[in-house]
Structure 1
Amino acid sequence: MTTRDTTHWTVGTYLAQRLKDVGIRHYFALPGDYNLVLLDQLLLEPDLKMISCCNELNAGYAADGYARATQGPAAAVVTFSVGGLSMINAVAGAYAEDLPLIAISGGPNTNSEAEWEYLHHTLGEVNYSYQREMYSYVTAETVIIHHPKLAPAAIDRALDTAMLRRKPVYIEVAANAPTSAPIPRGFARRPTSDPDSLAAAVKHIVDFLNGAERPVLIAGSRVRAASAQKALCDLAHSCKYGLASMPDAKGLLPETLESFMGIYWGPVSTPGCSEIVDTADALLFAGPLFTDYTTTGHQLCFQGDKAILVQPTSVQLGDTCYSNVHMRDLLNALVGQLSANDGALKAYHRVSSPKHIPKPGKPDTPLTSRQLFARIQKLLDRKSTLLVETGDSWFNGMELSLPEGAQFEIQMQYGSIGWSVGASLGYALGMSKGRLISCIGDGSFQLTAQEISTMIRYGVSPIIFLINNGGYTIEVEIHDGPYNTIKNWDYAKLIETFSAGEGNAWGCRVTTQGELDQAITEAKKRSGLCLIEVLIDRNDCNVNLLRWGNQVARNNSRAHRSI
């Protein structure tokens, strides 16, 4: 590969250096004639590796997974319009999930706009701004590089925004010409709270919680966006309150904490957990997002006037809002000021019941989802990450106990089926330890299956459990119809097709408990990607999916109001 000339910088080489500066080591790309020169420039940076994906949507999903694994930014590079509009769904998901995805697109030559040219890949109009306008709804900042001398400030500003807000940004490069050398600088600046607002919030919260008999802490998904996991753990250790996680926050806090009570998810909560949370006389929610999915159709029953809502940059207690108070600062300030109180935890231990893990049956016994996830539970260790696709895997995954150090990934807010295949590619490349275990339904897999070939190409080694039950199980439980049945594939044999004699990936199909045990043993020995296709009965699903689906369906099917 040609080396970069460090005496002459272009917009492309400047951008490559800045991607490196923010901690990115891989970026996901698709070529097109609007970004080819840009890709050439990015390839000159030896410390960045381009991962060529099969399509732009999957590249965006891969960047989503990479950001989760590294807990930092990720980048995807596409061509204008046909590429950028294909990727926008994945960027929207990253926006919903608070992930700093840097969406980079080539742009039309600046002469084309000046000369009012009609261009291919566009809408057939002399209008080149529509992609930026569309991305403005799903990113925290959008910039178009038309003038190379203005590129450094625009690129730096966009990356600053991504890092500070933990949201995607959009950079369109229309002019890849000489520009300034990148001046050394940092992008890991930490936002700070207003000291007066912080002090007032702390006093109000301390007075409120210290007056309670059974206070509870609940983690929401935006704890990650606020980089406040450690601060919340420290507070839980200090105050001894019972601790729960909302479903989209599973894995953000160690489930081995003595105070951990499980998942707070309304009617499908960990047994005993919702009863304690709903009857608590004081609640501190850290980063909650109350959607129809996270609340099981808005079925949470906690008392609103007993709840403190701590978001990444604000706090709400009763009718009082404290702005410019950052979650991490607040939680750290509360450590040592809250009186130790394990009243809720003691109550939980009185009403909770031990988890029942099914015992293995005879080797020739047909598989059930419970038996599959009982084995996945044994497969997890402190270095594992379990990634679950939208569907029955959500509910089975929620019931597993994560060993200390193990991670859990879910896309609950956006819930885009097919996300998990691309995300598995990105996550496996970004993770620094252990092995990724992905649980993917057959319906979701069919949307994005091509990226298995990219995993083989770049030698990543997740263990993928492909759950073949003949359709979209989660949709069946919300609202069934013939559209929820799919054409069956021979999923295990796709590994041969995608490998085409290269790599060391392996696939198999299992129908019995004995075959599954043998497949897991074999997968643990192998260093490449392993896909285990698990045949499950169409009507075999977690009972909580039935309960949850019924409540969500009821919420969605309410009579419409006139506006």
Structure 2
Amino acid sequence: MRGVAPDEKLFLMSDQTQSGTPAPLTVTVGQYLATRLVQLGAHHVFGLPGDFNLSLLDQMATVEGFHWVGSTNELNAAYAADGYARVRRGLGALVTTFGVGELSAINGVAGSYSEDVPVVQITGMPTTGARAAGTHLHHTLIDGDYDHFLRAYREVTVSATVVKAQTATRDIDAALMTALRESKPVYLGIPSDVATLPVHAANLRTPLVAASSDRNELERFTAMLAETVARHDQVTMLVGSQVHRCSLEAIVRQIADHDGVYIASQNMSKAVLDESHPASLGTYMGAFTRVDEARAAVDDAPLLVLAGTVMSDFLTGFFTQRFDEDAAIELGLTTARIADTTFYGVRLEDSLRALHVVLGQTPRAEVLPVGHPSVAVAAAPLAGEPLDQEFFWAAIQGWLRPGTTVIADAGTSFYGALDLVLPDESDLLGQAVWSSIGYTIPATLGACLAQPKRRSVLFVGDGAAQLTVQELATILHRGFTPVIFLLNNDGYTVERKIQSPSAVYQDITPWDWTLIPAAFGAADRVVTASVGSQDELAEALALAHENTEKAVLIEVRLPEMDSPRLLTVLTEGIAAAAAKR
């Protein structure tokens, strides 16, 4: 079968094409993969071309609904695919070339693994013959071993496969199903000769679906859950990021509407329930929870349900949670547990639905709203008064609008954003566990593509931005209009707060941030401002609301050692722990 020219679009969703003519009996491996991604909602695929993936990309580009998003480097492509997957609650995908490309992306894929994000890393590889012969090609280590990087990816994915000609469709489907089932990244290596081989298209008539729960196990779990819940007048649920990954926010809202229920979130799932809801406890972080009553409602809950949670240091306030995990009901991605009984094959979406049904079967008293954190309101701005973190975040609190995707980079930005009470129908996107600085600028690209009608607001530090700011060019040239707050505090403030604040390694080179868009050839697509005083910030915030047809980049000049409240207490804890070692 000849390869389809890149300008010929292939549509394979049913037995017939849109024109009514029969769909092809065969497609190429590249077309098969692209069609599966489109069927699963991953219409945008990020990456860079390289000689070993060109044939693959030529085939993928022929599929209707497939959109290529060229990134400025492979690490940014991995971050963008991750952000895309998080915001659209589904798969993200990237394509790299063998060796140099895939190794550049591996940090981003590792972050997806750490934080349960289903990303498909697709690598275009040398031909099957070259691999078998161990030919000394470029992008290899010149030792005849073509599996070095495959082995590396096995450490940061749940499935790492080199697609074979004889089993190509099975290899692809199995990998994609694994990503969906486990909510983790997978790796597909596709030799350039395999990418253009014909395979049967019949399987494409039936889109892949996520695995279902084991019916018997789900029935056993539901019965025991009903007995347990019936014994308690109050239930508190702590919600983790895996609820977001499975797009289960609506079920959480239904559970919150039952009497006798409180809902708290971990910081990676902040605002999974609108923080104005009477049942909301806000964000739980152990000893660093802002409201004592909210912490007590979790730690001292008569019945605690852990839904899709992760018990890492930053999510538990450095393990200062007081509740007993073993005594809690635990609802995981693929298992559920009540006391010492584990129910295998019970998926999170089904266990949450079971909880919703069970709560409706037993009457209980309405809970009293727990005091929410006080909403900081910025004082009237003073002309010429220098900015600090406290005033900045108080001003942002009053400026944010409902329905906003708030994106915050690791460090000052993330922990400042965590203390905000987000307006209704808003989300917080960040990397609380992997905490790779620079993640958020490419992730903003992914978020904008995933939800193009929703405006993103990005907070990123100067040190973090210097890693990945190139992807701002892609954002601007694609016509997206986020508001970007570049927090310039002359270096790595988080590390300064932990240890050796004056060390030379804490410094970064100074940039003129407001000139960056012009250097990217996009000065006409963005409004810029640089602010260092309270009145300048107020003017810039008004400017951002007024300019909705363009992106807005605001450099916020802040004191070097100043930090938001939550970051201050966290870094003090880290420094104290380090001093004891």
**Per-residue deviation, residues 343-367 of structure 1 (Å, max 9, x unmatched):** 7x43834xx6633323232243222
Give the secondary-structure state (helix, strand or coil) at the position aligned to 1:439.
strand
Amino acid at match of 2:8: T
The separation in 1 between residues aligned to 2:459 and 2:379, in whole angstroms, is 21
Q: Say whether the 8 Å CA contact 1:160–1:187 is kept in structure 2.
A: no
Give the secondary-structure state (helix, strand or coil) at the position aligned to 1:370.
helix
Q: Say whether the 8 Å CA contact 1:367–1:512 is kept in structure 2.
A: yes
How many positions carry a matched residue from both structures?
A: 554
The separation in 2 between residues aligned to 1:535 and 1:225, in whole angstroms, is 35
Give the secondary-structure state (helix, strand or coil) at the position aligned to 2:232.
coil
Q: Say whether the 8 Å CA contact 2:373–2:421 is kept in structure 1.
A: no
Q: Which region of structure 1 is more displaced relative to structure 2, 376-385 or 421-430?
A: 376-385
The aligned counterpart of 1:173 is: 190
Q: In the alignment, does 2:555 pair up with 1:536?
A: no
The aligned counterpart of 1:485 is: 507
Q: Which region of structure 1 is more displaced relative to structure 2, 289-298 or 371-380?
A: 371-380
The separation in 1 between residues aligned to 2:215 and 2:58, in whole angstroms, is 48
Amino acid at match of 2:317: T
Q: After the TM superposition, which residues 118-137 of structure 1 pair with which residues of structure 2 at under 5 Å, given as runs?
A: 118-137=136-155
The separation in 2 between residues aligned to 1:54 and 1:32, in whole angstroms, is 13
**Per-residue deviation, residues 376-401 of structure 1 (Å, max 9, x unmatched):** 33333333110111012222212222
Q: In the alignment, does 2:238 pair up with 1:221?
A: no
Amino acid at match of 2:352: L
Q: In the alignment, does 2:539 pair up with 1:498?
A: no
Give the secondary-structure state (helix, strand or coil) at the position aligned to 1:477.
helix
Q: In the alignment, does 2:468 pair up with 1:448?
A: yes
RMSD, matched Cα: 2.3
Q: Say whether the 8 Å CA contact 1:297–1:554 is kept in structure 2.
A: no
Q: For residues 326 and 18 of structure 1, do their structure 2 counterparts lie closer, same or farther at Cα, with a shift above 3 Å needed?
A: closer
Structure 1 residue 198, shift from structure 2 partner: 2.5
The separation in 2 between residues aligned to 1:83 and 1:457, in whole angstroms, is 23
**Per-residue deviation, residues 207-265 of structure 1 (Å, max 9, x unmatched):** 33333354312111122234432222212212431221111211322223211011110
Q: Say whether the 8 Å CA contact 1:499–1:505 is kept in structure 2.
A: no
The separation in 2 between residues aligned to 1:442 and 1:389, in whole angstroms, is 10
Structure 1 residue 122, shift from structure 2 partner: 1.3
Give the secondary-structure state (helix, strand or coil) at the position aligned to 1:487.
coil
Amino acid at match of 1:47: G
Normalising by the residue count of structure 1, what TM-score does the alignment of the two structures yield? 0.92
The aligned counterpart of 2:55 is: 37
The aligned counterpart of 1:321 is: 342
Q: Say whether the 8 Å CA contact 1:217–1:236 is kept in structure 2.
A: no
The aligned counterpart of 1:278 is: 299
Q: For residues 205 and 548 of structure 1, do their structure 2 counterparts lie closer, same or farther at Cα, with a shift above 3 Å needed?
A: farther
Q: After the TM superposition, which residues 125-204 of structure 1 pair with which residues of structure 2 at under 5 Å, given as runs?
A: 125-147=143-165, 149-174=166-191, 175-183=194-202, 184-187=204-207, 189-204=209-224
Structure 1 residue 112, shift from structure 2 partner: 1.3
Q: For residues 360 and 445 of structure 1, do their structure 2 counterparts lie closer, same or farther at Cα, with a shift above 3 Å needed?
A: same
Structure 1 residue 526, shift from structure 2 partner: 4.2
The aligned counterpart of 1:434 is: 454
Q: Say whether the 8 Å CA contact 1:163–1:188 is kept in structure 2.
A: no
The separation in 1 between residues aligned to 2:543 and 2:316, in whole angstroms, is 39
The separation in 1 between residues aligned to 2:544 and 2:375, in whole angstroms, is 27
Q: Say whether the 8 Å CA contact 2:448–2:454 is kept in structure 1.
A: no
Q: Say whether the 8 Å CA contact 1:17–1:182 is kept in structure 2.
A: no
Q: Say whether the 8 Å CA contact 1:163–1:187 is kept in structure 2.
A: no
The aligned counterpart of 1:13 is: 31
Q: For residues 549 and 179 of structure 1, do their structure 2 counterparts lie closer, same or farther at Cα, with a shift above 3 Å needed?
A: same
Structure 1 residue 186, shift from structure 2 partner: 4.2
Give the secondary-structure state (helix, strand or coil) at the position aligned to 2:444.
helix
Q: After the TM superposition, which residues 223-242 of structure 1 pair with which residues of structure 2 at under 5 Å, given as runs?
A: 223-242=243-262
Q: Which region of structure 1 is more displaced relative to structure 2, 34-43 or 184-193?
A: 184-193
The aligned counterpart of 2:392 is: 372
Amino acid at match of 1:245: S
The aligned counterpart of 2:15 is: none
Q: For residues 206 and 9 of structure 1, do their structure 2 counterparts lie closer, same or farther at Cα, with a shift above 3 Å needed?
A: closer
Q: Say whether the 8 Å CA contact 1:293–1:552 is kept in structure 2.
A: no
Q: Say whether the 8 Å CA contact 2:377–2:395 is kept in structure 1.
A: no
**Per-residue deviation, residues 77-117 of structure 1 (Å, max 9, x unmatched):** 11100000110110111112221211111101122123331
**Partner residue of 2:318 out of 285, 290, 297:** 297
Amino acid at match of 1:487: T
Normalising by the residue count of structure 2, what TM-score does the alignment of the two structures yield? 0.90
Q: In the alignment, does 2:3 pair up with 1:3?
A: no
The aligned counterpart of 2:432 is: 412
The separation in 2 between residues aligned to 1:216 and 1:500, in whole angstroms, is 49
Q: Which blocks of at least 5 consecutive residues in structure 2 are unaligned? A: 1-5, 11-22
The separation in 2 between residues aligned to 1:309 and 1:163, in whole angstroms, is 21
**Per-residue deviation, residues 470-498 of structure 1 (Å, max 9, x unmatched):** 12222233334522222221111112111
